[in-house]
Amino acid sequence: MKNKVEHGSLRWLNDEIENLEKTSVVTTKRFCVKCKTVKMISVIFGESSILIDWCPKCHGMWLDRGEFESISAYLANERAHMHPKEIEEQAAKDIKRVISGGPENRFDELRDAEAAISAMINATIFEHPKLFNFCMDLAHF
């Protein structure tokens, strides 16, 4: 999901997905479509009010109608309100995952790091008006 929204620009927002295991859960009546015998659990996505079904074994998610769009909007809003220092910290985590390995394959971890670095560059440019104006002037050439 995070890899597809806005051409992958949200790839680096891993915390909500990684923290699903740490949230309060309620077992559902729905069985995981992949694991077949494991009941899914309902969890709140990040700090939103969006309740999703999640498999504790394979980590698959079941989204009801409209939840994908709601999660996408939530993540875009999170990205827009992050402080540049938080983005920098996330980029550092993603770069470490490329080297040491993470929950995704190496290629996806590399793409997450690339997106995080891009977000960090954008946040830095917008934080400094003179740098922003300089970049905008360059775009006209």
Same domain, 74 and 111: no
Q: Answer yes or no: are the C-beta atoms of 31 and 58 closer than 8 Å.
A: no
Quick one: angle between helices 106-127 and 84-100, nearest 10?
160
For CA atoms 102, 78, 21, 35, the dihedral sign is: negative
Q: What is the pLDDT of residues 59-73, one digit of tens each?
A: 788 888 898 888 888
How remote is the C-alpha of 47 from its chain's centroid?
13
**How far is the C-alpha of 73 from the C-alpha of 52, rounded, in Å?**
15
- Stretch 50-60: mean pLDDT, rounded? 83
Domain boundary among 81, 112, 129: 81
Domain boundary among 29, 64, 81: 81
Q: Which residue has the higher pLDDT, 5 or 129?
A: 129
